[in-house]
Amino acid sequence: MNECYYDKRMDFFYNRTKTDTADEWAGPQLIGVLCFGTFFCLFIFISNSLVIAAVVKNKRFHFPFYYLLANLAAADFFAGIAYVFLMFNTGPVSKTLTVNRWFLRQGLLDTSLTASLVNLLVIAVERHMSIMRMKIHSNLTKKRVTFLIISIWAIAIFMGAVPTLGWNCLCDITVCSSLAPIYSRSYLVFWSVLNLVVFFIMVVVYIRIYMYVQRKTNVLSSHTSGSISRRRTPVKLMKTVMTVLGAFVVCWTPGLVVLLLDGLNCTDCGIQNVKRWFLLLALLNSVMNPIIYSYKDDEMWATMKRMICCSSEDKSQERRSSRIPSTVLCRSTDISGHYIEDGIIQGTICGKGDLGDKGNS
């Protein structure tokens, strides 16, 4: 019977794989990575919150496609949380972690990836349902969209917890991987192949839908009297989705390929030298998505800009209201019959508007 190592700390498993985490993440390099990660995590939190708030606030976004887009932003927000947790539990700290804390660290990353991936799949289904009927939005009800969103997160949490539930190498350390010292190599092969296959399927589906939309739009444009902007709306939405999907595939594929090579026990591939950079590339995906939404969707950008401007206007109104007592005082002194010279002196405090009033008096 194999011995299990649930009570060991992570240094036991890192030493077995000869992964020197202390040297890789020490000194200026660690500080640079932490500063880089902190800046982008803050951007992830703020920008994706704006996307979610825009969908909630603007009634034009109250359709299944935008609900799912908001859920994708929520997945990116969750990814930011996962990266923050990772930053404070990486480098030299990695070897001091317990097995359960390390499972939590990796589980958060796996959950965020799965949530984004499944969400893109559901968006593909939603786009297929609507585009094939040449509609801007599908006929999914709010209850069904809510059920889909709950299902997305249930699947994501389950996939993130699979290694914790038993698919690991704690009872058979001979099959442990190098990049994930307590993950079984067979799990890494399953995980990476599954995601890469889904990537390929989604790319094929979206290309097919996009070609169908382009063909139908060209045919209908010569036979319908509808507005050009309305006919182009499905195409614009498809361009947004395809750009998001393209960024997702570009940012995540290198990391998944590295995991696959590690699962196949490729010892001469130099995967330890590139793992952290591919992780940062995956982080960039959560940064890029809000930029894509605002760049590709004029209404989304306008809504986000209005929310930002309104908050700044509210602050300026508060500052103006704080000046009201002094303004009232200046005008009251003017009414009580002070000389123009006094008004000029007061004008240095009251502003040009009050000077003008005094001059007119």
Would you place residue 246 in the very low, low, confident or very high pLDDT band (cuts 50, 70, 90)?
A: confident
**Inside any domain, residue 352:** no
Residues in CB range of 294: below 8 A, 6 or more apart: 300, 301, 304
Lowest average pLDDT, out of 7-21, 91-105, 197-211, 307-321, goes to 307-321
Residues in CB range of 346: below 8 A, 6 or more apart: 330, 333, 334, 338, 354, 358
Would you place residue 110 in the very low, low, confident or very high pLDDT band (cuts 50, 70, 90)?
A: very high
> CA–CA separation, 107 vs 118, rounded Å?
16
pLDDT of residue 269: 77
Lowest average pLDDT, out of 9-18, 22-31, 132-141, 268-277, goes to 22-31
**Inside any domain, residue 73:** yes
Lowest average pLDDT, out of 138-152, 284-298, 302-316, goes to 302-316
Q: Are 256 and 195 in contact (CB under 8 A)?
A: yes
Give yes or no for residue 87 having a pLDDT over 60. Answer: yes
Would you place residue 72 in the very low, low, confident or very high pLDDT band (cuts 50, 70, 90)?
A: very high
pLDDT of residue 60: 86
Buried b (16+ CB within 10 A) or exposed e, 314-324: eeeeeeeeeee
Tell me which H or E stretch contains 347: helix 340-350
Count of the separate structural domains present in the chain: 1
Count helices and strands (H / E) in the chain. 13, 0
- Section 52-62 average pLDDT: 89
**Inside any domain, residue 346:** no
- Section 33-62 average pLDDT: 88
Better pLDDT: 270 or 167? 167
pLDDT of residue 339: 32
Better pLDDT: 235 or 50? 50
pLDDT of residue 220: 63
Give Cα separations from 151 to 114, 146, 154 (angstroms): 12, 9, 5
Give Cα separations from 294 to 33, 120, 171 (angstroms): 27, 18, 48
Mean pLDDT, the chain, whole residue set: 77
pLDDT of residue 204: 84
pLDDT of residue 211: 79
pLDDT of residue 102: 93
To 10 degrees, the CA torsion angle through 8, 10, 15, 18? 150
Q: Are 30 and 91 in contact (CB under 8 A)?
A: yes
SS3 assignment, position 179: coil
> CA–CA separation, 334 vs 268, rounded Å?
86
CATH of the domain at 188: 1.20.1070.10
- Token readout for 201 is 């399927």
Give yes or no for residue 16 having a pLDDT over 90. Answer: no
Question: CB count, 10 Å around CB of 178?
Answer: 23
**Inside any domain, residue 353:** no
> CA–CA separation, 116 vs 75, rounded Å?
6
Nearest to 61 by CA among 237, 209, 231: 237
Nearest to 252 by CA among 115, 140, 347, 93: 115
Q: Are 54 and 307 in contact (CB under 8 A)?
A: yes
Residues, the chain, total? 361
Q: What are phi and psi of 168, to 5 degrees?
A: -140, -175
**Inside any domain, residue 137:** yes
Give yes or no for residue 45 having a pLDDT over 60. Answer: yes
Q: Are 167 and 263 in contact (CB under 8 A)?
A: no
- Token readout for 212 is 């169908």
pLDDT of residue 304: 85
**Inside any domain, residue 142:** yes
> CA–CA separation, 110 vs 255, rounded Å?
12
Q: pLDDT tens for residues 180-239?
A: 889 999 999 999 999 999 888 888 887 887 777 777 767 766 555 555 445 555 667 777
Q: pLDDT tens for residues 296-338?
A: 777 888 888 888 887 555 444 544 444 434 333 333 333 333 3
Lowest average pLDDT, out of 14-28, 78-92, 205-219, 277-291, goes to 14-28
- Section 42-58 average pLDDT: 91
- Containing structural domain, residue 41: 10-221+234-309
Highest mean pLDDT among 12-26, 130-144, 193-207, 220-234: 193-207
**Inside any domain, residue 337:** no
**Inside any domain, residue 210:** yes
Tell me which H or E stretch contains 253: helix 228-263
